[in-house]
Amino acid sequence: MVADRYLTIARAGEHEIEIKRSRFICALAPVGSVDAAREFIAERRKAGPDARHHCHAFVLGPDGRTARSSDDGEPAGTAGMPMLEVLKRRELTDTVAVVTRYFGGVLLGAGGLIRAYSQAVAEAADVLGVREYQRLNLVAVTMDYGPAGRFESDLRASKYLLSGVRYEEVARFEVGVKAGELDGFRAWLADLTGGAATAEEIGEDWLG
């Protein structure tokens, strides 16, 4: 994992594959904590009570430091760990994967199971897509309503990331800016608004 960026699954969803009459349904979801991951795993168990296995893997944190997996009754090392390796290989974090297997009556063997569980997660990730988060400096931009509409439009079309906007007594925008681009952002802002806006650094956050 790179310190100033990370990837996670773009949205929750599922994808199914069939291998020798066994059905492998992989559900993926973005999660931010161990509790959220375990809650998702529990939900998948409830959704398929007649399935033989609900194997899972999850990775958490921008650095991917927290990682867990379970074979859930499959032969050791044939399900949870291969699923986890797919997540790590694709640099996905804050992501949980649950593969529900409905046995089709044909034994796949250890190698076949490893390939099946890996394939299920990889294909599900391809279908659902990924989202990139960057660690950015947060800048609060305030201005009168007059130039605010045009500024918001230009901001959304720019390389800077709009994190939040509030229209109250004045218009206030929270903007994500890379650390090395703060001076350039201030110059861009001054040129765009004719110096009618103020900009204040208010910290940093992970934005995507």
205, pLDDT greater than 80: yes
Same structural domain for residues 117 and 150?
Answer: no
Same structural domain for residues 123 and 84?
Answer: yes
Which string of b and e fits 37-66 if b means at least 16 CB within 10 Å?
beebbeebeeebeebebbbbbbbbebebee
Same structural domain for residues 71 and 174?
Answer: no
Same structural domain for residues 81 and 17?
Answer: yes
d(CA 156, CA 174): 12
Q: Average pLDDT for residues 74-83, to the nearest whole number?
A: 97
Of the chain, the percentage scoring pLDDT greater than 70 comes to 99
Same structural domain for residues 148 and 100?
Answer: no
Same structural domain for residues 114 and 13?
Answer: yes
2, pLDDT greater than 60: no
Same structural domain for residues 16 and 82?
Answer: yes
> Mean pLDDT score of the chain, rounded to an integer?
94
pLDDT in tens, 86-138: 999 999 999 999 999 999 888 999 999 999 999 999 999 999 999 999 999 99
pLDDT in tens, 131-166: 999 999 999 999 998 889 899 999 999 999 999 999
Split at pLDDT 50, 70, 90, the class of 3 is low
Same structural domain for residues 101 and 187?
Answer: no
pLDDT at 146: 86
CATH number at residue 198: 3.30.70.240
Last residue of a domain, one of 107, 128, 149: 128
pLDDT at 1: 41
Instruction: Say if residues 62 and 95 touch (Cβ distance below 8 Å).
Output: no
Last residue of a domain, one of 93, 128, 163: 128
Same structural domain for residues 187 and 94?
Answer: no
Q: How many domains does the chain have?
A: 2
Same structural domain for residues 119 and 142?
Answer: no
Instruction: Say if residues 54 and 43 touch (Cβ distance below 8 Å).
Output: no
pLDDT at 208: 84
Same structural domain for residues 93 and 184?
Answer: no
Burial class of 195 by CB neighbour count within 10 A (0 to 12, 13 to 18, 19+): exposed
Q: Which domain holds residue 92?
A: 5-128
Last residue of a domain, one of 128, 144, 175: 128
pLDDT at 4: 86
3-state secondary structure at position 86: helix
